Amino acid sequence: MSSICLKTEIPGPRSRKFTEARHQHVSPGPFHTTPLVAAHAEGSVVTDVDGNSFLDFSSGIGVTNLGHRDPAVMQAIAKQAEKFVHTSINVVAYEGYIQLAERLNQLLPKAAPCKTFLANSGAEAVENAIKFARVKTGRQAVIAFGHAYHGRTYMAMALTAKAHPYKSGFAPFPAEVYRAPYPDFYRWPSQKEISDRSDCSNNSKLCEEVFHAFAEIASTQIGETNVAAVIIEPVAGEGGFVPAPAPFLQMLRRWCDEHGVVLIFDEVQTGFGRTGSLLACHQLDVTPDLVVMAKGLANGLPLSAVTGRADVIDAVGLGGVGGTYCGNPIACAASLAVLDRFEDPAVLAHAQEIGEILRHRLEEFSKRFRSIGETRGLGPMRAIELVSDQVTKQPDKVAAQAVVQYCYEHGLILMTCGAHGNVLRFLVPLTISNQELNEGLAVVQDALLSLE
Ligand SMILES: Cc1ncc(COP(=O)(O)O)c(C=O)c1O
């Protein structure tokens, strides 16, 4: 039985009516991948207000990793809602916050002892990670990377690499943010000299080249002793699902140790099974000093965390960080249920299995379709980059948008990403059945075929 079930024209009449009202009443700021208006969501399926059911390959931008309305998470939310909804950790503490911190602290055993600070959004946690690092080191400079996306608050925007639409018109940004190139080997200049790209992702020569560029910027433009933090996504998310090779991250780790710099991994999008391990760093053999988490952390409730070395987190004194809603009790209860769910080894095993299916199918697509420049990713966090010419690698944003539109019209929610908006990203629920995954991939295949 198929999960996709379209009963009306797309968008249906009720969706069109709500969308009209949205244009009238809502800021045009938040983008909309589809003109869908949700009525219900369960597992991998979103049903709209016209009764049409769509397969969801976006998971609300990589949030509902356990699927929509995971029963254990729903139960935890309901149970906490019966007790109390809010007291503010700054006024009256509660067990859920403390328990969650204790459990998150165990995620970085090599950084132990760890402590945790909870916030609401990914951007807010990023901001706070920088605050911890600056106070700890007494330094100001922060190095971020090309392709970076860290959110939309001012510091997060400054750290983000993509100008339009994230930064355009919003300057000035906070100072002392520097940028080094991200290890995107598909577009790295000297990569052209390498004829066999099959194991390019871990090519040590390229890793050294990119690291050298980083170290040169740190040394000449900033001065190592002025650097408070280096912040990087283990897989660039919005920037195009580009995995940073483990050897490169290990070089960064050694450099940070040598110069007393706080290494921050932004695992907002890569965390909670998205790459096949609970955190991406678990499979990369690198331990950051601080890890920033959000999205899948509470499977849909607004919650984020900064977890890491206790001596860094302890550097900020009483009242130095916080916020009224930080670590909301219902979100904490949901997150504890998420962590319980991940204790079942079958959850990550399934994530890895669907990662393999995706890798295999997307590689097949790339052999077949001229529009695909590269397919890449880590575990189930996978993407295909569309180009108008495989030799010049000219990014093809129009093709990516056409695929997303085709998919939507045929019952599949899919998103783009990438510095040039030409990357199709697969953020499937990690609990998706193989049958649903294949059903969605068949739509993607037809969409790619329609480009030929
Ligand atoms: C890697 C990364 N960091 C930070 C953020 C910002 O998170 P939020 O949108 O919850 O502020 C995102 C959001 O997509 C992200 O992918």
Q: Please answer whether residues 130 and 228 qualify as being in contact, where contact means their C-beta atoms are separated by less than 8 angstroms.
A: yes
Give the mean model confidence (pLDDT) for residues 244-255.
97
Report CA(127)–ligand 1 centroid distance (Å): 11
Q: Which alpha helices (H) appear in 276-344, and where do they start and end?
A: 310-313, 329-343
Residue 371 has pLDDT above 90, yes or no: yes
Name the 3-class secondary structure at 180. Answer: strand
Nearest CA residue ID for atom 13, ligand 1? 151
Residue 195 confidence class, pLDDT cut points 50, 70, 90:
very low
Among 172-181, 200-209, 294-303, 333-342, the least confident range: 200-209
Report CA(130)–ligand 1 centroid distance (Å): 15
* Mean pLDDT over each residue of the chain, to the nearest integer: 96
User: Taking each helix axis from N to C terminus, what angle separates 329-343 and 71-83, rounded to the nearest 10 degrees?
Assistant: 150
Which tokens hold the place of 55? 């397969």
Sketch out the chain's domains with CATH numbers: 13-56+346-451 (3.90.1150.10), 72-343 (3.40.640.10)
**Is the C-beta atom of 160 inside 6 A of ligand 1?**
no
Residue 276 has pLDDT above 60, yes or no: yes
Beta-ladder partners of 43: 68
* pLDDT at site 190: 74
Beta-ladder partners of 42: 45
Residue 192 has pLDDT above 90, yes or no: no
Mutate to test the pocket of ligand 1, among 145, 295, 301, 306 (most ligand atoms within 8 A of CB): 295
Q: Which atom of ligand 1 is nearest to the CA of 152?
A: 11
Q: Which atom of ligand 1 is nearest to the CA of 295?
A: 10
**Is the C-beta atom of 53 inside 6 A of ligand 1?**
no
Task: Calculate the alpha carbon distances from 136 to 262, 313, 314, 318 in Å.
Answer: 9, 8, 8, 14
Give the residue among 409, 442, 402, 407 at the shortest CA–CA distance from 9: 409
pLDDT in tens, 387-426: 999 999 999 999 999 999 999 999 999 999 999 999 999 9
Residue 217 confidence class, pLDDT cut points 50, 70, 90:
very high
Q: Which atom of ligand 1 is nearest to the CA of 302?
A: 10
Report CA(50)–ligand 1 centroid distance (Å): 31
CA 288, distance to chain mean position in Å, is 17
Give the whole-angstrom CA distance, residue 391 versus residue 389: 5
* pLDDT at site 200: 52
Residue 197 has pLDDT above 70, yes or no: no
pLDDT in tens, 112-127: 999 999 999 999 999 9
pLDDT in tens, 138-162: 999 999 999 999 999 999 999 999 9
Q: Please answer whether residues 385 and 186 qualify as being in contact, where contact means their C-beta atoms are separated by less than 8 angstroms.
A: yes
Among 30-34, 57-61, 106-110, 129-133, the least confident range: 30-34
**Is the C-beta atom of 61 inside 6 A of ligand 1?**
yes
Report CA(82)–ligand 1 centroid distance (Å): 30
Most confident residue range from 19-33, 133-147, 189-203 = 133-147
**Is the C-beta atom of 301 inside 6 A of ligand 1?**
no
**Is the C-beta atom of 127 inside 6 A of ligand 1?**
no
* pLDDT at site 201: 60
Q: Please answer whether residues 144 and 238 qualify as being in contact, where contact means their C-beta atoms are separated by less than 8 angstroms.
A: no
Task: Calculate the alpha carbon distances from 376 to 64, 139, 191 in Å.
Answer: 22, 36, 16
Task: Calculate the alpha carbon distances from 229 to 18, 260, 287, 311, 357 in Å.
Answer: 45, 9, 14, 15, 37
Residue 356 has pLDDT above 80, yes or no: yes
Residue 440 has pLDDT above 80, yes or no: yes
What is the bridge-based pairing of β-strands 242-243 and 227-232? unpaired
Q: Please answer whether residues 60 and 33 qualify as being in contact, where contact means their C-beta atoms are separated by less than 8 angstroms.
A: no
Nearest CA residue ID for atom 3, ligand 1? 150
**Is the C-beta atom of 238 inside 6 A of ligand 1?**
yes
15, with CB counted inside 10 A (0-12, 13-18, 19+), is buried
Among 23-32, 104-113, 199-208, 260-269, the least confident range: 199-208
pLDDT in tens, 65-89: 999 999 999 999 999 999 999 999 9
Give the whole-angstrom CA distance, residue 111 versus residue 287: 7
**Is the C-beta atom of 233 inside 6 A of ligand 1?**
yes
Report CA(160)–ligand 1 centroid distance (Å): 10
Which tokens hold the place of 287? 């331990």
Of all residues in the chain, what percent are helix, strand and coil, respectively (each to 5)?
45, 20, 40
pLDDT in tens, 34-53: 899 999 999 999 999 999 99
